[in-house]
Amino acid sequence: MKITGTFIDEISHDIPHQNWGPDEWDRDFGLMKAVGIDTVIMIRSGYRRFLTYPSAYLQKQFGCYRPPVDLVELFLQLADKHGIKFYFGLYDSGHYWDTGNLSHELDANRYVIDEVWQKYGHYASFGGWYLSMEISRRTKGATEAFRMLGSQCKQVSGGLPALISPWIDGKKAVMAASPQLTKEDAISVLEHEKEWSEIFEGIQGAVDAVAFQDGHIDYDQLDDFFAVNKKMADQFGLQCWTNAESFDRDMPIKFFPIKFEKLRLKLEAARRAGYDKAITFEFSHFMSPQSAYLQAGHLYNRYQEYLKTF
């Protein structure tokens, strides 16, 4: 199972910023392309007051800061140059994280979707949308938000695909700021199947692909959960991707590049389950030779060796 897509985490709140400019991003797109990555997904276009593009609406409505560089335009230009497909990630106001209610994200993103498509939809590499609201279980307003926003994205763009990347509420599903690495109240496979079957039924036709994050369950649980994910995706007409996290959730320091053996275990489990595509969170911090983490370049080397075994 090869990694053919990656998130771009330019608006982050739990991993350090690398302060890259156009030259560093250009090199990174080249490094991605060299190992077979054909898709980049901007994980969010803004978080609270920080933005990736100068949105007139978000600056006025939420008091967002005007960014010094239009990163959406930069990423689309680089995607065009390197022959990579770009997925645009929606805005995250932070209200969901404060209240647990996803309906807050609807109003903001209805404007963002139209604004972004009018401004950037002409780029050849604009290939899809990422609905950036992350959930793990039945969350208030989640199904409605995914259905409404996914439908709008597809309508304005002539049917370009929409992606979601939820997490599994497993034993490692703890907040990044928590000193704990695991929790006791982990979801069972049966509960996971029941809840997500209901969500998938509600978003049919509005969402095209689901990429469950793979780092919240233990390695001996991968096959059971992955089999259920593929079964549900097939049942409700979704592509089943895996979000193969390239950072390590088992370490007390959050977050470092993952040990290659662990990444391989997760990719092989996705292959056995018959997944359609593997993406990662995320190449630039945790796999790139020019990452701030020295270990990331070594992971890149180990992954290149892995590719030669195919």
Give tens-digit pLDDT for 212-244: 999 999 999 999 999 999 999 999 999 999 999
Structure tokens at 94: 């932070």
Q: How much is the pLDDT for 195?
A: 94
Q: How much is the pLDDT for 192?
A: 94
CA angle 72, 78, 80 (to 5 degrees): 100
On average, the pLDDT of the chain sits at 94
Selection from 220, 171, 164, 219 nearest residue 192 by Cα: 171
Across-strand partners of 277?
241
The gap between the terminal CA atoms of the chain, to the nearest Å, is 9
Average pLDDT, integer, range 90-97 = 88
CA angle 51, 27, 298 (to 5 degrees): 105
What's this model's pTM, rounded to 2 decimal places?
0.96
Task: Render pLDDT for 4-55 as a digit per residue (tens, 0 to 9).
Answer: 999 999 877 788 999 999 999 999 999 999 999 999 999 999 999 999 999 9
- Give me the sign of the Cα torsion angle 6, 122, 113, 201: negative
The pair phi, psi for residue 223, each rounded to 5°, is: -60, -45
Of 102 and 165, the structure prediction assigns the larger pLDDT to 165
Across-strand partners of 294?
none
The model's confidence at residue 165, banded by pLDDT at 50, 70 and 90, is: very high
Q: Per the CATH hierarchy, to which homologous superfamily does domain 3-307 belong?
A: Glycosidases (3.20.20.80)
Across-strand partners of 257?
247
How far apart, in whole angstroms, are the C-alpha atoms of residue 61 and residue 49?
A: 10
Task: Render pLDDT for 104-150 as a digit per residue (tens, 0 to 9).
Answer: 788 889 999 999 999 999 999 999 999 998 887 777 778 999 999 99
Selection from 138, 172, 170, 8 nearest residue 78 by Cα: 8
Q: How much is the pLDDT for 98?
A: 83
Cα atoms in the Cβ-side hemisphere of radius 13 Å centred on 301: 7
Q: Which DSSP category does 204 fall into? A: B
Which phi-psi region, left, alpha or beta, contains residue 282 (left: φ > 0; alpha: ψ -120 to 50)? beta
Selection from 136, 135, 120, 54 nearest residue 88 by Cα: 120
**Domain coordinates in residue numbering, the chain:** 3-307
User: How much of the chain is in helix, strand and coil states, percent to nearest 5?
Assistant: 45, 15, 40
